[in-house]
Structure 1
Amino acid sequence: MSVNIDEAPIFAPSLPVPNVQEMVKVNPLQVPTKYVRNEEEMEKVNYMPQLSSEIPVIDFTQLSNGNMEELLKLEIACKEWGFFQMVNHGVEKDLIQRMRDASNEFFELPMEEKEKYAMLPNDIQGYGQNYVVSEEQTLDWSDVLVLIIYPDRYRKLQFWPKTSHGFKEIIEAYSSEVRRVGEELLSFLSIIMGLEKHALAELHKELIQGLRVNYYPPCNNPEQVLGLSPHSDTTTITLLIQDDDVLGLEIRNKGNWVPVKPISDALVINVGDVIEILSNGKYKSVEHRVMTNQNKRRISYASFLFPRDDVEVEPFDHMIDAQNPKMYQKVKYGDYLRHSLKRKMERKTHTDVAKIKEHVIVT
């Protein structure tokens, strides 16, 4: 695939599907069969809420101050959980609240206003849904707004909502702060991976940053649907803000589903596929999913940091030894990302394209 790094990339098509928020407005009691999951898919027997308190909490200020104990906690979090909540990150509470208010204002607009920002058939930027690749697949109970924020030249401003007052400026301010945290976090990940502090930043050549604002309407039968199907992120890292008062995000840990109970204004961080590949599987990009709520809508804000299309990703040599044979082959990141986006979200099956054949798990 030829890459022009000065042009905004096109990522992947997604089939048009009904708007879930509007569907709920018209008939809040109805759950169309296209969204209904069977009991096996819902995996209720594996729900372990009692493990929620064990999800690591990392203090960003302690990391920044060179606290080795906190750095060790970070390594354990990446190795054993692939997810952690981060406090004292320095993103102002007022800015987070403005992001919440502006996003809520956007999703409450009339449908004809929101449709002005609708995704085009061949790409993921804009308002709509992603990962819809077949007429037969079961759909997720959510709508999204997806924007590429950095580098600036990749922005497609026709998809940035103008109707919510100051939304563009709020998105820019919020994303800039999240990027600051993400870049510093990459330096800590470099250190725990036994690299020079700026190694991961240099590997990326240029850090791409996307934003996905997820809107999960209430559902009359939340036991039957998923807000977001189980998947791992194709990113390097993902930084998420979730609502303080609504449960939804669940992560897989040792075969169980564990809810991520919100800590007020904490950033929820997860390791992406890129870190898993670079670390030869030592640090896991963990499956996660989103549940819905019968009475409350939920909005979350996921910031994705990932390499440029032309970056080649493979395990670092020092992560490979007799006990840890090479699990992943070299992949061009742009090819890997598009391979994932052109499939429905289905656990971690999209990672098979990067695995050396004997490590592919057949399900």
Structure 2
Amino acid sequence: MNQQITTRIGADKGAIKREFRSRPWAATLILVGGLALLLLGIAVSVSFGAADIKLSVVWSAVFHFDPEIMDHQIIRELRLPRVLGGAMIGASFAVAGAIMQGMTRNPLADSGLMGINSGAGFALALCFAFFPNLSFMYLILYSFVGAGVGAGVVYGIGSLAKGGLTPARLVLAGAAFSALLSALSEGVALYFHIGQDLAFWYAGGVAGTKWIQLKIMFPWIGAALIGAMVISRSITMLSLGDDVAKGLGQRTGLVKLAGALIVLVLAGSSVAVVGAVGFIGLIIPHLTRFFVGVDYRWIIPCSAILGSLLAVFADLTARMINPPNETPLGAIIALIGVPFFLYLARKERREL
């Protein structure tokens, strides 16, 4: 047995080294080109809306703000926090999904499918019902608690089945428990007459994002993204399997605990701002691995950039479909995510 593990470790080391030699160029291209495209997307998104504003005015509002000019007020107080919030939550969901898929070796792992988003949403429903005047800081903290409870219950249910935890059981448990929490949230909304307050979180969107939310959210998300980069090499080892990771000297329990906390912070804070936006964490890590390989030192930063791109351009699309009305951001991303999920599920079934 030990000889088999040693052989596997040696083979995996060689495979990873071969992957590293060829893919950093693709990762660098994604980081540089993606960042440039993200800046362009932010500029276009800020300029587009019910009142179209020239890019030159956007530049002036950002670097030479004049509170007497109405367009400057619209850009500073409404559009900039919305677009920057979209970029932040896109990066958060994408990195959370990448970490979950790496730690669990489950290609279907995503905060929206594992009960994390619905747990955070249920916590928010209880907050609106019983503590309607809570500050945004406390909403984020309760979102963390709800996300942790949701993830814990899903993993517990999946582990109780005969044969242990498998990717298929984990997804089924997540789907069932998420549906239960969504139903409970709707029941709370109806009973306490807070349906209008929760409608935004049900649909998912960044339209109501304010600077105060970004100021509170940024330190949490920033610290979590840095933490994700710190443990990225360990996540690469975990993606090879627990036995291989332990053979390479990794403290797997500590890494999994750190990864779980990072995922809860990223998903919980994002749900508190934009609601139940799913599938970003499912789509982006797969797309990133296709381009950059299996090294999470590249997957995590590239996922952050691509996740931000998806969220920013999906929000822009949501505003362009039926102006001046807006299509929910969650619906736009689901149009991409649902077919992608079905494709992955079908692929996994063929491989079983």
For the pair shown, the structure with the greater C-alpha radius of gyration is 2
Normalising by structure 1, we get a TM-score of: 0.27
Normalising by structure 2, we get a TM-score of: 0.27
More strand by share: 1
